[in-house]
Amino acid sequence: GKHEGAEWRGRRGRAGSGASSGSGSGSGGRERLEGPGAAENDPLHLKRRVGLFSGVALIVGTMIGSGIFVSPSGLIVRTGSVGASLVIWVSCGVLSLLGALAYAELGTMNTSSGAEYAYFMDAFGSLPAFLFSWVSTLVLKPSQLAIICLSFAQYAVEAFSSECEPPTLVVKVVAVLAIAVILLINCYSVTLATSVQNVFTTAKLGAVLIIICGGAYKLAEGNTQHLRDPFVGTKATFGNIATGFYTGLWAYDGWNNLNYVTEEIKNPSVNLPRSIGIGIPLVTFCYLLINISYLAVMSAAEMVESEAVAVTFGNRILGVMAWLMPLSVTVSTFGSANGTLFAAGRLCFAASREGHLLDILSYVHVRRYTPAPGLIFHSLIAVAMVMSGTIDSLIDFFSFTAWIFYGGSMLALLVMRKTKPHTPRPYKVPIIIPLIVLVISIYLIVAPIIDEPKIEYLYAATFIVAGLLFYVPFVHYGYVPAVMDTITVFLQLLLEVAPTQSMFD
């Protein structure tokens, strides 16, 4: 049994011969367990479908998620004043734009998908690339999913509990349910997941428009009192500013999203920089206007008090249509969570296919063609994070780790200017930009640790180091414990998944 299993499981070269001698082996489940695409010899390749419009939509649709509906209060708490929080909102937008312009050079120079993974491979080699895929699979992507689902739950529950604070346990349970539903959608079919994404992105833009128009109306009526003396109470300490940035930067996260799909962009050397140049300023502008709209309707103190700013906003301004606000926010966060799991499944799938993670994580469901094992794996970690953390602690945990890698990409750019000076760069960013972003990311990583060391930062650092311990035996020396075969075969039968054809090319 075990040997036969290992044969149709077929790691790399072995599977090719397994497939051609398939008719003789006579194992009943064989046909069914063959990988998708095994019948056609056409190697899987991605089509270039993303033009300028979808490029901008991909950036904007990922960036606008939960942050703008949840973070404004947190940012006021951390900065102490309306003015300082608005300055941080705009600075986060500028920082994201600068970072993304540097990513535009990286993405047009190395046009393979996978963003950081590909750039680290080019600039630093296999180990840093492995560490990135390790951390993003185990930490970054699951914490993104956990944060967005917690925000979803907060709004969904708040809608039923009027202005009083909803019980934490209920919020967590709803967040776990949301993860389960999103997991089912993504395991069920790719088409379903992408249609959910499109519908929900549209709804999200609707919510943004409602808030901005509402605020503009209130301001026109002369409700400017909360915007006077904006800087009174500012508390700008070394570490405070950095964690304030974490809160704001979460809302902007996703600015590098187009770099994950470079292989699918039409004319990437033009459309990648252009989508970045349109998308990120657009989001920055929306976020600034939304913050001002909130302040046209409530004071900074009221914003801090409200657990869900957008709901309070709706209650004050939309009258009988107040239900529209929590609904649009739940729709927006749900869509964002769906997109995040979708991308996460893809990254995990790619890295494990390269032999950097467990084989089973790169397998695909035999009839539904979805990377179910990777999706389930991410969701389980996200559930653990939801149960153990709060939105704010998770955001700090996430941003700390993410900025280590964003800073790493800046370093990769600078290194490659030296080591690969002659590689064509269709888009070349002024060298000062990655330098600035590198310095800021070092500040963002170091300042919160010095200012107020938190256990989350230690967890994150431990995770990265733990990756090293795995790298040496399992990736560098390619050691596979014998029991892994049994586990893989068991999971394959349980989940009905198989390796993809492209794996053997």
Helices (H), 221-306: 238-252, 268-297, 300-305
CA distance 295 to 293: 5
Q: Which of 81, 110, 136, 144 binds ligand ARG (CB under 6 A)?
A: 144
DSSP states along 195-226: HHHHHHHHHHHHHHHHHHHHHHHHHHTT--GG
Q: How far is the CB of 401 from ligand ARG (least distance, A)?
A: 12
In which element (H, E) is residue 365 found? Answer: strand 364-365
Q: How far is the CB of 253 from ligand ARG (least distance, A)?
A: 4
Joined together, the tokens standing for residue 281 give: 């300023």
Q: Is 257 in the site for ligand ARG (CB under 6 A)?
A: yes
Q: Is 328 in the site for ligand ARG (CB under 6 A)?
A: no
CA distance 75 to 73: 5
Q: Is 89 in the site for ligand ARG (CB under 6 A)?
A: no
Q: Is 253 in the site for ligand ARG (CB under 6 A)?
A: yes
Nearer to ligand ARG, 257 or 312 (CB): 257
Q: Which of 89, 155, 250, 377 binds ligand ARG (CB under 6 A)?
A: 250
The answer to whether 205 and 331 are in contact (CB under 8 A) is no
- Coil, strand or helix at 364: strand
Q: How far is the CB of 375 from ligand ARG (least distance, A)?
A: 15
Nearer to ligand ARG, 325 or 360 (CB): 325
Nearer to ligand ARG, 69 or 474 (CB): 69
CA distance 379 to 334: 14
How many binding residues for ligand ARG (CB under 6 A)?
Answer: 14
Q: How far is the CB of 325 from ligand ARG (least distance, A)?
A: 17
Q: How far is the CB of 425 from ligand ARG (least distance, A)?
A: 25
Nearer to ligand ARG, 130 or 406 (CB): 406
Q: Is 254 in the site for ligand ARG (CB under 6 A)?
A: yes
By CB atoms closer than 10 A (0-12, 13-18, 19+), residue 225 is exposed
Q: Is 148 in the site for ligand ARG (CB under 6 A)?
A: yes
Nearer to ligand ARG, 59 or 475 (CB): 59
Joined together, the tokens standing for residue 273 give: 């920089």
Nearer to ligand ARG, 329 or 357 (CB): 329
CA distance 65 to 481: 41
By CB atoms closer than 10 A (0-12, 13-18, 19+), residue 274 is middle
CA distance 398 to 407: 14
Q: Is 80 in the site for ligand ARG (CB under 6 A)?
A: no
Q: Which of 10, 33, 34, 66 binds ligand ARG (CB under 6 A)?
A: 66
Q: Which residue has the tokens 């790719």?
A: 190
Taking CB under 6 A as the binding criterion, the range among 63-71, 230-238, 287-295, 349-357 that sits at the site for ligand ARG is: 63-71
Q: Is 174 in the site for ligand ARG (CB under 6 A)?
A: no
Name the DSSP class of 266. S
Residue nearest ligand ARG (C-beta atom) = 65
Q: Is 62 in the site for ligand ARG (CB under 6 A)?
A: yes
Q: Which of 73, 85, 340, 500 binds ligand ARG (CB under 6 A)?
A: 340
Nearer to ligand ARG, 109 or 290 (CB): 290
Q: What angle do CA 236, 239, 243 make, to 5 degrees?
A: 95
155, 297, 285, 284: which is closest to 214 by C-alpha? 297
Q: Is 92 in the site for ligand ARG (CB under 6 A)?
A: no
Site residues (vs ligand ARG, CB under 6 A): 62-63, 65-67, 144, 148, 250-251, 253-254, 257, 336, 340
